[in-house]
Structure 1
C-alpha cells in the first residue's frame, strides 16, 4: 500500500483545495433543477452528487478518471483500482506493491466459512456474499481508530486500509460462496503466482485448459468496477458511508441494492431471453426469424432484454468489450451467435418501432452469454461477480469522500399536500 498511500497523501490536499475553492467562489451556483416528474421518478437525472472516479457520457459510455473504457480495456483490475483511487495509472513498482498488499490481506477468517456453511442450503448467493462482508465488520480498522479518537483529516487512512483488506478477500469469499452454495466440493486455495482476477477464476474451480476463463474474469472484474455515484448500489453505500459507518456496513448495504431485479440481475434476464430463443428455434434462428420474434414481443408490449439505457445513446462500451472477447475466443456456440445476431437486428427494429430513445445494447446483453459458455451456468450467482467488481468503485468513492470531508447525506423530501398547495 506504500505507493498508493503516498500518492494519495500528495493528491488529497490538492483535491481538498479544489473543492474548497469551488465552494468558496461558486457555492451558491445552481447545477440542477428538479421537476415534479423527477421527484416522483427516482430522482433520475438530478445532479446532486460529485463523483470523480467515473462518469457516463451519452456518446462515449463509461469514462474512468477521464479515460474512455475501451482505451484501457486491457488493464488488470488492480490497475483500475489504483486508477480509481489515485487518478493515475500505477507504474510497475506501484502495481507490484498493491498486488503484494492484496495478497497479504487475502486470507478469509475461519469464522466466515463457519457462517456460510451454517446458512440454509437454498440461500441466495448474494445473501451469502453480503452476510460474509457484514460479518467481518469486527475487523474494521476505521471503527477501532474512530472509537479511540481520530482526526477528521485522517478518516480516509484507516478507511483505505479497510477497503484494501476487504477487496483482497472478495475473490476467495465469492469463489467460496459458489462452491458451497452449488455443492462444487471443497474450497480451493489461492495461487500466489496469479493476479487478483485470475486467482478468483482459479478458486471457482471451473475447467480452464486454455486460460480463457481467467482472461474473461480479469475483463469482467475490470469493466464492472464503477458507474458514477448515483446508481442504486453506489448511492446506497455512499449514504451509509456518509454516516461514518465503516466500509463493511457500507459495502454490504450497497450490494444488497445490487441484488435487486432492477439493478444487478439484468444480465440473468438477458441470458434467459437468449436461451428461450435458442430453445424455441432449436438452435440459432435466421436473421428474419429473429427480427419477426422481436416485432412480436414489441407488439405484445414486451421489451427486448438488454437493449436501451437511461443515459447512453451509443452501444455500451462494456458490451463492445465482451463481444470482442467472444469473437476472439468463442466458436460454434449457439448462445453467443444469437447475441451477435440480436445486435445486428434489434437496434434497427427499435428505431422503426420509434419508442426507444436508445436502441443500442447495454452490457447485460452480452455478459451472461460469455459466463454461460464457460460453464458458469448458475444464474443466481452472476450478481456476486458484479459485486466483487463494483466493490472497487464503491470503496474508492467512499475513501475519497472521507478525504474530502463530505458530510452526511440528507436530501429534503416534500409531501403530496405541499406539492398540491404550491403547484
Structure 2
C-alpha cells in the first residue's frame, strides 16, 4: 500500500510537471532572467532523480549495439526533445502540429517562428508573442560580426564546400567566447551555464548573416545583402540570401523550426554534447557538430534525395506514371543502392517533419511537377520496401521533401542546403548545452572494448550457461574472461 501511494504521488508530480509544457508561466520577456529562475528547480529535480533512481537499470546492451554504432542504447540525458518511434519528434513534450498551433507566428495563422521554439527548448514553456518578439530583438542586438571572420572566409576559395566555410567561420568566432574568457579567469562551476548562455545567443544571432554571406559569396558573385531590422529571424535570413517572397519567408520559418532538434543521439547533437562535456566552449562544440552534420549519412541526405529525383527526371521526365516509378525504384534497389529519403533509424511511421512540409506544399505549390513526383513516390515506395522485407521503416523522412520546396522558390544550390540545416540545428543543440552546464553534467566517457574482449566475454557467458544447465559451478576462470571449457561454446 505504501509503495502504491508513493507511485501515485510520483505520478502526480510528473503530471503536474508535464502541464508546465503546455501553458505560459511568466510574462518576463527576458529569456535569461526566466532561465535563471528555472535552473535551481531543475537542478533539484535532477538531483532527486539521481538520488532515488541512480542505480536503476535502463536495460541490457548487446554485442550488436556495440558494433552497430551504439544504436538503441539508452545512455544520454537530453531534455529539449524526445523522439518517439510512432509519433516522431516532440519538442519539450509538444508534437510538431502542437507547436504549429501554440507557438507565436509572424503572420496570422502562419508557421511558427524559431525564436518561439528556442524559448520553448530553453525553458520548457510556450512563449507569449511578446517574449518571442523580445528574443527577436535580442538576436538583432547580438548580430554584429567581427571583421576577422569575413577575412577567414575570404581566404578560402569560393569553391570550398559551404559547410567547410560555415565551420571555419564558427571557429573564427571562437575568439569572442565569453565562456573561454570566464573559465580562464576562474569561474565557479555552478555558474558555467551563464557564459555558455551568452555564447549560445551570440552564435545563434550571428549565424544568419554568416550563412547568407557564404551563399552570396559562393553562388551570387560575392554581392552581399544587408540585414533588414524590421524582419524576424527567418525572414531576415531569407532576405539576406536574396529571397523576399513572403511565402519563402514562411517556408524558412517552418524549415528552421522543424530542423532544430531531434533528440540527442544523432551525430550533430551528440557531437556537440560530447565536445561540450570536455568544457569546450559553444563555438568549438558547435563547429564539431557541424562537421558531423556535413556527412552524407546525416545532413547531406536531402541533397542525395534531390539528386535521385533529378536522375528520375533525366531518365523518364516529370510526367511519370506510377508503373514507371516502380520500375525505377526496383532498378535503384537491384543496383545495390537505397531509396534516399525513406527509412529512419528510430521512426517507424511517416516523419511528421515530412508531413508538415507536405501540407505546406499542398497549400502553396500543389501543381509543381517535382512535388507531384514526391507525392507519387509516397504512394509507390513504401509498398515496395515492405515487399523487400528488409526495411523496418518504409516511410519517408524529412529529407524526402525539403529539397523540392527550396528548389521551387529558386534556392537551387543543393550543396548549400546543409548550411540551412546547420543554422537551425544550432538552436537545438545549444538549448541543451546550456542545460548540460546548468546540470553540471560530467565529461562523457563510455567504455569501449576490443573484438578479442567481446569474443572472450561471449564465450564465457555461453560456457556459464552450459555449466548452469549441468549443475556445475562457475570456476576455473582466467582473468581475461576465458574459462578452460571453451569447447562447449
TM bucket by the smaller chain? over 0.9
Q: Alignment partner of 1:56: what SS? A: strand
Q: Which residue of 1 aligns with 2:161?
A: 124
Q: What do residues 93-134 of structure 1 show as CA deviations (whole Å, max 9, x unaligned)?
A: 322221111010112212111211121121110000110001
Q: Alignment partner of 1:62: what SS? A: strand
In structure 1, distance between residues paired with 2:36 and 2:29:
10
CA contact (8 A) 2:89 2:262 kept: yes
2:43 is the alignment partner of 1:16: yes
Q: Which residue of 2 aligns with 1:63?
A: 90
TM-score by length of 1: 0.97
2:267 is the alignment partner of 1:232: yes
Match of 1:213 among 248, 257, 267: 248
Greater CA drift, 1-10 or 243-252: 1-10
Q: Which residue of 2 aligns with 1:298?
A: 333
Pairwise CA distance, 1:281: 1.3
Greater CA drift, 399-408 or 113-122: 113-122
2:292 is the alignment partner of 1:271: no
In structure 2, distance between residues paired with 1:390 and 1:368:
17
TM-score by length of 2: 0.84
Q: Which residue of 2 aligns with 1:26?
A: 53
Give the 5 Å matches for 1:70-149.
Answer: 70-73=97-100, 74-149=111-186
Give the 5 Å matches for 1:11-410.
Answer: 11-73=38-100, 74-206=111-243, 208=244, 210-410=245-445
Structure 1 runs of 4+ aligned residues shifted over 6 Å read none
2:424 is the alignment partner of 1:421: no
CA contact (8 A) 2:139 2:201 kept: yes
In structure 2, distance between residues paired with 1:119 and 1:353:
46
Aligned residues: 421
In structure 1, distance between residues paired with 2:449 and 2:298:
26
Q: Alignment partner of 1:63: what SS? A: strand
Pairwise CA distance, 1:295: 2.5
In structure 2, distance between residues paired with 1:291 and 1:419:
43
In structure 2, distance between residues paired with 1:32 and 1:174:
42
Greater CA drift, 308-317 or 69-78: 69-78
Q: Alignment partner of 2:30: what SS? A: helix
CA contact (8 A) 2:29 2:130 kept: no
CA contact (8 A) 2:163 2:419 kept: yes
Pairwise CA distance, 1:334: 1.9
Pairwise CA distance, 1:332: 3.5
In structure 2, distance between residues paired with 1:234 and 1:340:
30
- Give the superposed CA RMSD: 1.3
Q: What do residues 351-380 of structure 1 show as CA deviations (whole Å, max 9, x unaligned)?
A: 222221111100000011111111111111
Pairwise CA distance, 1:300: 3.5
In structure 1, distance between residues paired with 2:61 and 2:204:
36
CA contact (8 A) 1:178 1:184 kept: no
CA contact (8 A) 2:162 2:214 kept: yes
In structure 2, distance between residues paired with 1:356 and 1:398:
34
Pairwise CA distance, 1:303: 1.6
Unaligned runs of 5+ in 1: none
Pairwise CA distance, 1:2: 6.2
In structure 1, distance between residues paired with 2:97 and 2:46:
29
Answer with 1 or 2: which has the greater Rg: 2
Unaligned runs of 5+ in 2: 1-27, 101-110, 459-489
Pairwise CA distance, 1:75: 1.6
CA contact (8 A) 1:319 1:365 kept: yes
CA contact (8 A) 2:114 2:233 kept: yes
